[in-house]
């Protein structure tokens, strides 16, 4: 499999996908690819708008996208996709739409067969075994929480180390520890903004200047940098 799993689309003070479009271009290669875009995490703006926004950036990298919501035969579009791109937004809405369309097994099959997969935020959540470590409010109820299971560990995108000043509620780490108490044995990768994971078959690397914070029940959280080996996470169950 080939996966590029990004924490976020936009860094503070930067344009949309500015920090990631170079890596997306390298990931897809020099030959132009027209990727199939899944816009279903968008809730407060149209899927047409989302497609237009993503297409603009992909064209800067020498590639293109076409959104799945235009397809007359959605299953055929997935089967014929050169690459699959899943944008961020609300993970619950994204999963619910794909489940209702019956496309989850087919997407999983195509990516496992080698079709490149790019996701950011909700799109990265979708690559996990479940969506249980998303930060998003459950605005809609999916059939279940099961995601694509392309990787055997969970990602928490937009990972933050502390709460805003004056806020006395739970930290992100506390929320992850709650998940781990109920799901012992599972790893959770706290993926900070501006970073991403690139998977090439059985190899995985961290891209970006910030470290990844790795959690597991009974284990002290570990900070891993781009120089550290991460392949072991692909072998966990």
Please give the radius of gyration of the chain, using alpha carbons only, rounded to the nearest integer.
17
Pick from 175, 124, 177, 178: which is nearest to 153 by CA?
124
Please pick, among 7, 121, 161, 205, the residue that the annotation labels catalytic.
Answer: 121
Q: Give every CB contact of residue 42 below 8 A, 6+ residues apart in sequence.
A: 49, 50, 87, 89
> Is 158 a known active-site residue?
yes
Q: Is 137 helix (H, G, I), strand (E, B) or coil?
A: coil
List the Cα angle 193/49/14 in 5-degree steps. Answer: 30
Q: What count of other Cβ atoms lies within 10 Å of the Cβ of residue 194?
A: 18
Q: Whole-angstrom Cα distance, residue 74 to residue 88?
A: 20
**Residue 55 CB coordination number (10 Å):** 18
Q: Which residue out of 158, 161, 167, 231 is catalytically annotated? A: 158
The sheet that has 84-86: what strands, in order across it? 64-67, 34-38, 84-86, 117-120, 2-6, 196-200, 203-207
121 has catalytic annotation? yes
Residues 55 and 7 sit within 8 Å (Cβ to Cβ)? no
Contact between 228 and 186 (Cβ < 8 Å): no
CA distance 224 to 62: 32
Point out the catalytic residue in the list 19, 93, 124, 136: 136
- Residues identified as active-site: 121, 136, 158
């Amino acid at each position: 499999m080939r996966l590029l799993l990004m924490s976020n689309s936009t860094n503070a003070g930067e344009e949309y996908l500015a920090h990631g479009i170079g890596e997306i271009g390298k990931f897809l290669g020099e030959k132009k690819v027209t990727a199939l875009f899944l816009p279903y995490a968008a809730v407060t703006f149209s899927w047409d708008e989302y497609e237009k926004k993503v297409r603009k950036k992909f064209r800067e990298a020498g590639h293109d996208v076409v959104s799945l919501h235009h397809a007359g035969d959605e299953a055929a579009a997935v089967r014929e996709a050169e690459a699959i791109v899943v944008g961020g937004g609300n993970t619950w809405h994204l999963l619910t739409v794909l489940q209702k369309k019956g496309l989850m097994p087919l997407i999983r099959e195509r990516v496992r067969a080698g079709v490149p997969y790019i996701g950011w935020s909700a799109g990265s959540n979708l690559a996990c075994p479940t969506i249980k470590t998303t930060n998003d409010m459950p605005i809609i109820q999916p059939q279940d929480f099961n995601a694509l299971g392309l990787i055997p560990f969970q990602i928490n995108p937009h990972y933050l180390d502390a709460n805003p000043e004056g806020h006395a509620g739970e930290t992100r780490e506390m929320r992850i520890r709650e998940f781990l108490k109920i799901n012992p044995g599972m790893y959770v990768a706290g993926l900070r903004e501006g970073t991403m994971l690139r998977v090439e078959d059985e190899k995985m690397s961290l891209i970006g200047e910030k470290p990844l914070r790795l959690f597991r029940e009974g284990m002290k959280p570990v900070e891993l940098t781009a120089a550290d080996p991460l392949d072991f996470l692909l072998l966990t169950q």
